[in-house]
Structure 1
């Protein structure tokens, strides 16, 4: 009887151990599922941080602030920045360039061409513009309208799907015209799909102004794309087969007076 009791007790202990192992196995099976759910929800939380928006600052009125804007990973990056001097300049995220309902991201350093500002939790999707504003004088020095840098459906971009033979047409280069000497030509440059687009353009008057693709801003080896209309803020020029990859700058040049009014380095 004693042997039978011991055998029975052993079986009960074994069964209890096996049951415990089975319980642990179920827990192991449920843990990855919970982890998968957590991973699935994580990208949703990081969507705002991954948003990319871009823009190009243009001057407002007599004061001049110029530069390129990129918003990505919770930061606003300001590059190629130049500005007129002013007290207490700030950079704002805004709706329709209205700083009254905008959000200041910090004070501008007048001397730094590259600056980065933390969005501090601001959702870039809620804003459509960036403004450089003097809080003391209540004057805007420059503003940029923002556009989405990512494709809306998350699909591939044109450059990813285009055939290699279309590289020249698909290439995108941008730049910002700055004045040269006493004469002033200002504006934004975008080269895309075989065209050069000139926007937010302002210029001093001059006879026979032309726009050139150039290397090192040397129009002697450059290519004239056509004559400038002094009154039009937006103009488009055909590249006429020119490969934008061969040029690194754009120059506004007066053929009659042999004087450059403005130039932009291309990126």
Structure 2
């Protein structure tokens, strides 16, 4: 049985082929593509997602006889609560939703547990496209009750 060893030149050829392939994916303008001078500087790069450029805010109001106060800001991939307070609940969470009822919460995106008595709180959205949602809801999961909401604008 004959064993074949990799010859350094065959590895070099493979590396060279890979390098040439990857060079074809370069973002450097070529003669056939528009130059950087002709491209609009205000257009986002193809790798930018809508959530990277979005910044929306809203002011909380209590719902269902509960008190929720403060401001929410969704910017990039972070949701921030400032001046926040809420009635105490056993299992409060912050949600991104398209409405403020139980059906909207069920169809929305749960972000994280929220502290009812912590003035400033920040939450990473971890790949959630916040541009798909118009409301931020404070919800008691245990009681299945909306405590308050803020419309994003």
The answer on 1:103 being equivalent to 2:109 is yes
Q: C-alpha deviations, 1:183-204, integer Å up to 9, x for none?
A: xxxxxxxxxxxxxxxxxxxxxx
Q: C-alpha deviations, 1:95-154, integer Å up to 9, x for none?
A: 12210100111001122100001112111111010100000011111001111xxxxxxx
More helix by share: 1
Shift of 1:88: 0.5
TM-score, with normalisation over the residues of structure 2?
0.68
**Could you tell me which of 139, 145, 148 is aligned with 1:139?**
145
For the structure 1 residues 142 and 54, does the alpha-carbon distance in structure 2 shift closer, same or farther, using more than 3 Å as the test? Answer: same
Q: Distance in 2 between matches of 1:120 and 1:100?
A: 19
Q: Distance in 1 between matches of 2:105 and 2:142?
A: 14
For the structure 1 residues 42 and 62, does the alpha-carbon distance in structure 2 shift closer, same or farther, using more than 3 Å as the test? Answer: closer
Residue aligning to 1:79: 82
Per the alignment, in what secondary structure is the counterpart of residue 35 of structure 1?
Answer: coil
Per the alignment, in what secondary structure is the counterpart of residue 142 of structure 1?
Answer: strand
- Max radius of gyration: which structure? 1
Q: Distance in 2 between matches of 1:93 and 1:113?
A: 19
Per the alignment, in what secondary structure is the counterpart of residue 52 of structure 2?
Answer: helix
The answer on 1:61 being equivalent to 2:64 is yes
Q: C-alpha deviations, 1:151-192, integer Å up to 9, x for none?
A: xxxxxxxxxxxxxxxxxxxxxxxxxxxxxxxxxxxxxxxxxx
Q: Distance in 2 between matches of 1:35 and 1:45?
A: 12
Residue aligning to 1:91: 94
Unpaired runs of at least 5, structure 2: 1-22, 30-35
Residue aligning to 1:124: 130
TM-score, with normalisation over the residues of structure 1?
0.40
Q: Distance in 2 between matches of 1:141 and 1:44?
A: 39
Which has the higher relative contact order, 1 or 2, with Cα contacts under 8 A spaced 6 or more apart? Answer: 2
Shift of 1:70: 0.6
Conservation of the 8 A alpha-carbon contact between 1:50 and 1:74:
no
Give the aligned length. 117
